[in-house]
Amino acid sequence: MVKIGHYYENGQSFFRIYAPLKKNISIEIDGNNKTIELNKNNDGFWIGSCPALPEGSLYYVNIDNSKTLPDPTSRYQPFGVHGLSMIVKTQPAYREDWKGISIEQAVIYELHLGTFTPQGNLRSATEKIPYLAELGINVIEIMPISTFPGNADWGYDGVYLFALSPSYGTYKDLELFLNKAHEYKIAVILDVVYNHFGPEGNYTNNFAPYTKKSQTPWGAAINFDQNYSDGIREFYKCNVQWWLEDIGFDGMRLDAWAMIEDEKKPNIRREITDLAHDIGKRNHRKIIMIAEHLRNDPSVVSSDGDNCDAQWIDDFGLSIRSFLTKDPLDKLLKSFYLFDDIIKALKQAVVLDGTRMNHALNSYTGKSPINVKPSQNVVYIQNHDMIGNRVRGDRFVTTSNNDNFEKSLLAAFTLFSSNFRPLIFMGEEFASSSPFPFFESFTDNYLIKAVKEGRKSEWKFTGIEPFDSHAQETLELAHLKWNELSVDKNIRNFNIYSRLIRLKIKNIIGYDSYVMKGKLENTVVIKNSTSLTLLNFNQNNAEFEYDDRFEVLLDNSNKNKPFKLGPYGAQILIDKNQNIDLEF
């Protein structure tokens, strides 16, 4: 049980607030004129107790008898980021038979709760879990759910890291979602933001120096290593424990991991991953910790470094998208331009390994991944950033194909046939046409205007007007169109993805594979002991030479024949002389 903010213990309500430089801290309970005086300990925390307060009690924290503010460690903010904090009772998701999913077997589905279903909440998402089980994925990665301003946001503007956003539902809804996923043998990991706070509703610096002068691209960096940082480090470690143990998530996706600055030893990054793995051990289940580092640094997954289970690798998808689209409007694609980049990505996941310029960062980044295991790389064709950071938030299937699905399916065959752990973004499996532009619901007019002007300036070079991030219509555009699953081409796309996922999980493809260039230009052959994947990145036909012991198992086009692929064709074949279990 996390002992920070409000918590119950031995029939009492306790409050423990970090405010090392303040002279007086008290809790004001709303509606009954009750005040709980807290006493300061030597560690800078103020603590006090009273008879157990009922669930739903509302309170403010009074600082030095001059200012009343929400609790930075609030578990629920029913009236928004500026309102009263609420006391809640929670219990962790629990199934005795649930042991989690290892990173070595993970097939990940990234989703945004607010746009995954028409209702945009946990209850409606729970109803979709049987669908996800039918698809075949075994890990759901949920974009951040901590409380943000308003009722619509990607989640990276969160300011109450312990508080489930009320727009998504209640903790009971979250418990039911997790238990339902576990019933279907699906792990659920949570995207968390430990590198900055959002720009509206962040009152932490009224309590302690939670941030420092150093900047991230999104605001002040967190103070993990300067004066009075010990209580701030505890805040974040308690947050890890809250979501993984007190609530029951199966791991975390760690946003912008490289933006977490800490000169102390051990650094907070290693303390976070060690704590997470310890939680897994004492709960007898697997915990997955995946970093979005974006510097291609092997130390992120090294046992001597941050000890994450895996890291996101953008290079894989960007090299494929760049070659297939030649899109001059996508700034992320400028670092990738050669077919050999695809070959390199298939062999080692990373392309930018310190040998050439990373144009997104205007510097040489990355190191050789020589000691990195394949399972320590999470790869994808697209994720929320790759879609949402385009001027109109368009997906790969609409960017590259103009309703010709072969290119996007070629990319999918490449993804799942790689040795790495695949991730897909919600709706990708049925070739969703819904864009995923950036949206927010700030209440501060200055911020609303600044975001609009900033996005217009960013995309001025394209001559295209970006969507209004504050408009309700932009949020509605991002909702998945589930009726597309009644269209033949979308059904076919879903069925191919489902087969690819099952082939991946059964290690028929994407396991211990050898990658080589085909004899024809811009073709690839991926081979392991049970299967053969042929990929044609040409706009012309391509023919491969192999003996007839192989038979076609899966194909991305009705136009292909065995070993003879049409433009942007892809094919998986198996050795028919081997006894391979194809029952799914």
Q: What is the CATH number of the domain that holds 532?
A: 2.60.40.1180
Q: What is the pLDDT of residue 579?
A: 75
Q: List the catalytic residue out of 292, 306, 330, 440.
A: 292
Instruction: Give per-residue pLDDT as tens, 212-267.
Output: 998 999 999 999 999 999 999 999 999 999 999 999 999 999 999 999 999 999 99
In a domain, 534, yes or no: yes
Q: What is the pLDDT of residue 401?
A: 58
Angstrom distances, CA of residue 109 to CA of 30, 37, 132, 317, 579: 41, 46, 9, 15, 31
Asked if residue 232 lies in contact with residue 167, where contact means CB atoms within 8 angstroms, the answer is no
In a domain, 63, yes or no: yes
Residue 255 known to be catalytic = yes
Question: For the ranges 77-86, 357-366, 445-454, 463-472, which has the lowest average pLDDT?
Answer: 357-366
In three-state secondary structure terms, 288 is strand
Q: Amino acid letter at 447? A: L
Q: What is the mean pLDDT of residues 458-484?
A: 95
In a domain, 81, yes or no: yes
In a domain, 75, yes or no: yes
Residue 297 known to be catalytic = no
The dihedral through the CA atoms of 28, 33, 34, 38 has a sign that is positive
The mean of the pLDDT values for the chain is 95
Question: For the ranges 67-81, 121-135, 370-384, 541-555, which has the lowest average pLDDT?
Answer: 541-555
Q: What is the pLDDT of residue 252?
A: 98
Q: Which of 86, 109, 140 is the last residue of a domain?
A: 86
Q: Is the pLDDT of residue 302 over 70?
A: yes
Residues of the domain holding 550 = 510-575
User: d(Cα 327, Cα 334) in Å, to the nearest integer?
Assistant: 9
* Other C-beta atoms lying within 10 Å of the C-beta of residue 87: 23
Q: What is the mean pLDDT of residues 530-535?
A: 95
% of the chain exceeding 70 in pLDDT: 99
Q: What is the mean pLDDT of residues 530-540?
A: 94
Q: What is the pLDDT of residue 176?
A: 98
Instruction: Give per-residue pLDDT as tens, 88-119.
Output: 999 999 999 999 999 999 999 999 999 999 99
Q: Which of 69, 86, 103 is the last residue of a domain?
A: 86
Q: Is the pLDDT of residue 521 over 50?
A: yes
543 CA to centre of own chain? 39
48 CA to centre of own chain? 37
Q: List the catalytic residue out of 250, 255, 385, 440.
A: 255
Q: Is 488 exposed, middle or buried (0-12, 13-18, 19+ CB in 10 A)?
A: exposed
Q: What is the pLDDT of residue 346?
A: 98
Q: Is the pLDDT of residue 404 over 80?
A: no
DSSP 465: P
% of the chain exceeding 90 in pLDDT: 89
Q: What is the pLDDT of residue 426?
A: 98
Domain count, the chain: 2
Q: What is the pLDDT of residue 403?
A: 45
Q: Is the pLDDT of residue 199 over 70?
A: yes
Encode 405-427: b = buried (16+ Cβ within 10 Å), e = exposed. Answer: bbbbbbbbbbbbbbbbbbbbbbb
Q: What is the mean pLDDT of residues 149-153?
A: 96
Whether pTM exceeds 0.75: yes
In a domain, 10, yes or no: yes
Q: Is the pLDDT of residue 472 over 60?
A: yes
In sequence order, the 6+-apart residues with CB closer than 8 A to the CB of 345 are: 315, 316, 319, 320, 351, 379, 418
Q: What is the DSSP string of 119-177?
A: S-SHHHHHTTHHHHHHHT--EEEEPP-EE-SSS---STT-SEEEEE-GGG--HHHHHHH
In a domain, 32, yes or no: yes
Tokens for 452, please give them: 């609009």
Q: Is the pLDDT of residue 293 over 50?
A: yes
Encode 6-22: b = buried (16+ Cβ within 10 Å), e = exposed. Answer: bbeeeeebbbbbbbbeb
The model's confidence at residue 402, banded by pLDDT at 50, 70 and 90, is low
Q: What is the mean pLDDT of residues 182-195?
A: 98
User: d(Cα 503, Cα 506) in Å, to the nearest integer?
Assistant: 5
Residue with the bigger pLDDT between 401 and 394: it is 394
In a domain, 479, yes or no: no
Q: Which of 86, 112, 130 is the last residue of a domain?
A: 86
User: d(Cα 489, Cα 311) in Å, to the nearest integer?
Assistant: 33
Q: Is the pLDDT of residue 584 over 70?
A: no
Q: Are strands 288-291 and 251-254 parallel, antiparallel or unpaired?
A: parallel
CATH code for the domain of 31: 2.60.40.10
In a domain, 59, yes or no: yes
Instruction: Give per-residue pLDDT as tens, 263-290.
Output: 999 999 999 999 999 999 999 999 999 9
The model's confidence at residue 155, banded by pLDDT at 50, 70 and 90, is very high
Phi, psi of 374 (to 5 degrees): -55, -40
Closest residue by Cα to residue 581 from 502, 495, 498:
502
